[in-house]
Amino acid sequence: MCNTCGCNVTAGNRHLLFQQPQKKTVTAISVLSNLLKHNDQQAQLNRAKLDAHGILAINLMSSPGSGKTALLEATIQRLKDKFRIAVIEGDLETENDAERIRAQGVPAYQITTGTACHLDAHLTQHALEHLNLSEIDLLFIENVGNLVCPASFDLGHHRNVTLLSVTEGDDKPAKYPVMFRAADLMLITKTDLLPYLDDFSPAKAERCQRALASDVPIFALSSRSGEGLATWLQWLENEVSQHKLRVQQNQTLQPRVQQDGHKSHRQPPEIRFRPV
Amino acid sequence: MHELSLCGDLMEQVLAIAKAHHAKKIVSIIVRIGPLSGIEPMLLESAFSISRAGTLAEEAQMFTETLPIRVQCNSCGAESKAVINNLICGSCGDFNTKLLSGDELILARVELETADASPIN
């Protein structure tokens, strides 16, 4: 910190330094609105549309290759006779994942984002237009494989499920806290590989998740062997039936993080003039 | 790099405010960011320098204020400072805490150059 090279000027105080001489023609306006307002408004519309059809929407997030599509295949095989399932797939390119889902006999719409690293509420709205909503109970949205950006965008879904495969580091929640804090449920996947990996400790993964003040359920499972799937399927069944009751009472559900953020920080939009 | 897509939202809001107040140009934009919002202030500033081109905000400066992470313990009630990947209570160590601040992403203030800046309200 010195006055020689300017390192004492920070993002927080720079505006004081460069404050313009009091110009009569400059007006300051306090806004205090969420930067994601535009996305969030579309997300609310999407959620209302899903609720009108009694659909529970689950957003799956993880790094690429942690087994999101394999989990969906295993889930659809076991639940498609109980619920009408559909999937929205997000990838930068190709229809490959949507084709894998369609091979299971359920509708899938593929969003190819080009270079965008996440889905947002507008892309989701577009995808919803391609699905017959009156024939769906449970909608999975498989987000772009990425542990950074998808966490910031409400799509209009109800629950965030975050996957951590045992071939990744068990400290991922500590490295990517924004993503893992957003989880309503955390799944440790590919547990059939655990005997071959001496450096992944499910207990440590859980400790890192709890350090994010997250009390969400953590299930360990393998889509390939089927081990642990029963707990996940039971969770899904409970969520679908609870959501049906919820929408009958004209209530809805926001993913935990968005809900908390709104509760603690929402301030009435305020626009006022103030002489500078 | 979702800062650029976020900037689209920001520009839309800022330009709407400028239009509503018949501004000639936008002088500065102040954004408050909590580390848990997942937004990198430096990336947002560079995304802004791209998005502002050809708009009323062409010459505007963006200032980002980083907000501290604070949690309140649901067990012992203590308020404490926390770091991004450790949100447990600083007093009793319980993980059952509520975030008080740190995930904000707020457009706090806009300065506009208008023909007449007489205070309203």
What digits encode the pLDDT tens for the residues B37-68?
888 898 899 889 988 999 999 999 999 999 99
A56-62 average pLDDT score: 97
ipTM above 0.95, yes or no: no
Q: Does A272 touch chain B (CB under 8 A)?
A: yes
pLDDT value of position A267: 45
User: Which pLDDT band holds residue A101 (cuts at 50, 70, 90)?
Assistant: very high
Tell me how many domains chain A contains: 1
- Asked if residue A173 belongs to a domain, the reply is yes
CB-CB under 8 Å, B119 with A174: no
Give the helix/strand (H/E) hosting A164: strand A159-165
Chain B contact set for A34 (CB, 8 A) = 105-107
pLDDT value of position A113: 86
Half-sphere exposure of B49 (CA within 13 A, CB side): 6
Range of the domain at A126: 37-261
Q: Does A181 touch chain B (CB under 8 A)?
A: yes
Average pLDDT, chain A: 87
pLDDT value of position A28: 81
User: Which pLDDT band holds residue A270 (cuts at 50, 70, 90)?
Assistant: very low
- Asked if residue A22 belongs to a domain, the reply is no
Assess whether pLDDT exceeds 70 at residue A217: yes
One-character DSSP codes across B22-49: T-SEEEEEEEEE-GGG---HHHHHHHHH
CA neighbor of A210 nearest in space, from B88, B75, B105, B56: B88
A242-248 average pLDDT score: 95
- Asked if residue A172 belongs to a domain, the reply is yes
- Asked if residue A115 belongs to a domain, the reply is yes
A270-276 average pLDDT score: 35
CA neighbor of A236 nearest in space, from A162, A179, A185: A185
Chain A contact set for B99 (CB, 8 A) = 213, 260, 264
pLDDT value of position A3: 44
Q: Taking CA atoms, what residue in B is nearest to A12?
A: B65
Q: Which two tokens stand for residue A186?
A: 């955390």
- Asked if residue A26 belongs to a domain, the reply is no
Assess whether pLDDT exceeds 50 at residue A9: yes
CB-CB under 8 Å, B9 with A213: no
| Phi, psi at A206, each rounded to 5° | -65, -40
Strand arrangement of the beta sheet that strand B61-66 belongs to: A272-275, A26-34, B105-113, B25-33, B61-66
CATH code of the domain covering residue A117: 3.40.50.300
Task: Compare CB distances from B36 to A24, A181, A208 and report the shortest one's residue.
Answer: A181
Let me know: does A153 contact A131? Beta carbons within 8 Å. Answer: no
CA neighbor of A227 nearest in space, from A101, A74, A83, A77: A74
pLDDT value of position B121: 45
Work out the minimum CA distance from A187 to partner chain B, whole angstroms.
19
CATH architecture observed for domain B3-113: 2-Layer Sandwich (3.30)
CB-CB under 8 Å, B105 with A36: yes
